[in-house]
């Protein structure tokens, strides 16, 4: 499955037809590898241990350069744009209701049960495939979304909470996609007395019920307030969406500087999700948003790689509690290289993207498909990609990029690619 152009929400927003039937899941025993939530404290440094992620397992697909990103805790740094946005969101919710519990130190390693089954994401959902997700073992993975913690917190009895963290997805490469980014999840349950009237309703009856409307209205009002809090008074647009874990589901767009921008996904929590979390007597809402996306808009940060930069020309620009416009420092010239190859039958584009990142790291700014050609005689397909290499802090030489590009040509053969 192709990922959406934004870093959040639409990942799981597949069509209802793809989402197909409901899974009934029993709760797999959570292995020792997955630690208990840190109940609101920030304890991410212990996660910065590459050995936790790169384990010897035949289906482990986590390269070192990804494992090295875990545990940086950008969302917990008060003077980092990701941390600044996160605390602005937090302030808004705490001002609404001081009972919101804040989580930001959960283990980024979760089980397939937590990340998918508890949320009605079926075993055959494309988002679960190893071409899209970083697996540690068959049952454990780097969370692909913060929704992975929803059910655990609900089961532990929390009724209103926010949960922020780093999430990981194998993905395409350009200025707004990076394999690691941050999300913030919000959940609110309503008192049983407010939703008792909805007991035993069919799906259609529930969707038409005043209780469902009350929750959806509260959700939209809350999130509209959040958007005004972040962007100033701003025009919003709601559309119906689809997520396996909410029903109904919505997406919100805002009109910002003349452009409609998708900023979040949300909905009324699916009754089966609540039942699996032993909260079948309750109803409520949930939302998820991408922090990089908001930060790129609000701070005018042009490239998602900058968030991970240790360059003081980046970090010195930001201070706690302040949204300021990023002043780009000299952009060094790019080096472009093309690579074309014949494809094997089982070509997985993300494997190729990841290989390039493994070789050239953050020097890869963008990988763009520029040509596809199928030979009518042999029926073989060839693809050509243009790779943009650029450093954030120095000029690159053609010679050094040739070395990397050559490495990529050689290593590509291990993916069954026949370089032309």
Residues of this chain that bind ligand DAH (CB under 6 A): 8-9, 11-12, 145, 147, 185, 243, 246, 265-267, 286-288
Judged on CB neighbours under 10 Å (0-12, 13-18, 19+), 309 is: middle
For the CB of residue 9, give the shortest distance to ligand DAH in the complex, in Å. Answer: 5
Strands annotated E in 291-417: 335-342, 364-374, 381-389
For the CB of residue 186, give the shortest distance to ligand DAH in the complex, in Å. Answer: 7
What angle is formed at CA 277 by the lines to CA 274 and CA 282, rounded to 5 degrees? 40
96: tokens are: 């609404």
Contacts of 403-410 spanning 24+ positions with Cβ under 8 A:
404/359, 404/360, 404/363, 405/337, 405/339, 407/359, 408/339, 408/355, 408/356, 408/359, 408/360, 409/339
Cα distance between residue 162 and residue 98, in whole Å: 12
The residue among 122 and 147 lying less far from ligand DAH, judged by its C-beta, is 147
The residue among 11 and 326 lying less far from ligand DAH, judged by its C-beta, is 11
The residue among 286 and 335 lying less far from ligand DAH, judged by its C-beta, is 286
Closest by CA position to 293, among listed 86, 87, 78: 86
The residue among 167 and 387 lying less far from ligand DAH, judged by its C-beta, is 167
What angle is formed at CA 316 by the lines to CA 74 and CA 90, rounded to 5 degrees? 40
Cα distance between residue 133 and residue 62, in whole Å: 9
User: Which residue of this chain has its Cβ atom nearest to ligand DAH in the complex?
Assistant: 288
For the CB of residue 187, give the shortest distance to ligand DAH in the complex, in Å. Answer: 7
Cα distance between residue 392 and residue 216, in whole Å: 43
For the CB of residue 48, give the shortest distance to ligand DAH in the complex, in Å. Answer: 23
The residue among 73 and 267 lying less far from ligand DAH, judged by its C-beta, is 267
The residue among 243 and 299 lying less far from ligand DAH, judged by its C-beta, is 243
361 DSSP 8-state letter: G
For the CB of residue 129, give the shortest distance to ligand DAH in the complex, in Å. Answer: 15
Q: Which residue has the tokens 């060839």?
A: 382
The residue among 11 and 134 lying less far from ligand DAH, judged by its C-beta, is 11
For the CB of residue 12, give the shortest distance to ligand DAH in the complex, in Å. Answer: 4
The residue among 103 and 341 lying less far from ligand DAH, judged by its C-beta, is 103
For the CB of residue 344, give the shortest distance to ligand DAH in the complex, in Å. Answer: 30
For the CB of residue 408, give the shortest distance to ligand DAH in the complex, in Å. Answer: 30
Q: Which residue has the tokens 């002043």?
A: 327
Concatenating the DSSP letter of every residue in 64-105 gives: HHHHTTTT--GGG-TTSHHHHHHHHHHHHHHHH-TT-EEE--
For the CB of residue 216, give the shortest distance to ligand DAH in the complex, in Å. Answer: 11
Q: Which residue has the tokens 């797999």?
A: 28
Concatenating the DSSP letter of every residue in 312-339 gives: HHHHTT--TT---------PPPPEEEEE
The residue among 290 and 359 lying less far from ligand DAH, judged by its C-beta, is 290
The residue among 291 and 401 lying less far from ligand DAH, judged by its C-beta, is 291
3 state DSSP class of 268: strand
For the CB of residue 244, give the shortest distance to ligand DAH in the complex, in Å. Answer: 10
291 DSSP 8-state letter: H
């Amino acid at each position: 499955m192709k990922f959406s152009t934004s870093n959040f929400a639409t990942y799981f927003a597949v069509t209802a037809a793809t989402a197909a039937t409901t899974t009934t899941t029993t709760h797999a025993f959570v292995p020792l590898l997955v630690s208990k939530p840190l109940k609101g404290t920030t304890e991410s440094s212990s996660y910065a241990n590459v050995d936790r992620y790169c384990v010897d397992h035949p289906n482990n697909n986590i390269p070192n350069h990804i494992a090295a990103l875990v545990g940086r805790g950008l969302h917990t740094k008060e003077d980092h744009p990701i941390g600044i946005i996160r605390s602005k969101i937090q302030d808004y919710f705490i001002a609404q209701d001081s009972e919101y519990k804040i989580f930001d130190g959960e283990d980024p390693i979760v089980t397939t049960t937590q990340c998918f089954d508890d949320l009605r994401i079926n075993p055959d959902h494309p988002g679960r495939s190893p071409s899209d997700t970083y697996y540690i073992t068959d049952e454990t993975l780097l969370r692909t979304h913060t929704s992975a913690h929803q059910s655990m917190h609900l089961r532990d009895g929390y009724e209103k909470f926010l949960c922020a963290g780093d999430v990981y997805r194998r993905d395409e490469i350009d200025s707004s996609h990076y394999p690691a980014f941050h999300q913030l999840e919000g959940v609110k349950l309503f008192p049983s007395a407010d939703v008792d009237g909805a007991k035993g309703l069919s799906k259609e009856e529930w969707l038409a019920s005043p209780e469902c409307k009350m929750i959806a209205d509260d959700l939209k009002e809350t999130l509209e307030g959040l958007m005004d809090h972040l962007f100033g008074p701003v025009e919003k647009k709601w559309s119906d969406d689809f997520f396996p874990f909410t029903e109904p589901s919505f997406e919100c767009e805002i009109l910002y500087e003349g452009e409609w921008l998708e900023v979040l996904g949300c909905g009324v929590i699916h009754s089966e999700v609540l039942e699996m979390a032993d909260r079948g007597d309750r109803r409520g809402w949930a939302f998820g948003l991408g922090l990089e996306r908001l930060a790129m808009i609000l701070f005018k940060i042009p490239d998602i790689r900058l968030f991970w930069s240790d360059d003081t020309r980046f970090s010195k620009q930001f201070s706690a509690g302040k949204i300021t416009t990023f002043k780009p420092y000299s952009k060094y010239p790019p080096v472009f290289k093309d690579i074309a190859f014949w494809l094997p039958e089982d070509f997985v584009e993300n494997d190729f993207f990841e290989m390039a990142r493994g070789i050239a790291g953050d020097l890869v700014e963008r990988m763009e498909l520029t040509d596809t050609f199928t030979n009518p005689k042999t029926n073989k397909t060839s693809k050509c990609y243009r790779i943009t290499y650029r450093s954030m802090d120095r000029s690159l030489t053609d010679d050094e990029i040739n070395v990397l590009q050559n490495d990529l040509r050689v290593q590509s053969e291990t993916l069954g690619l026949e370089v032309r």
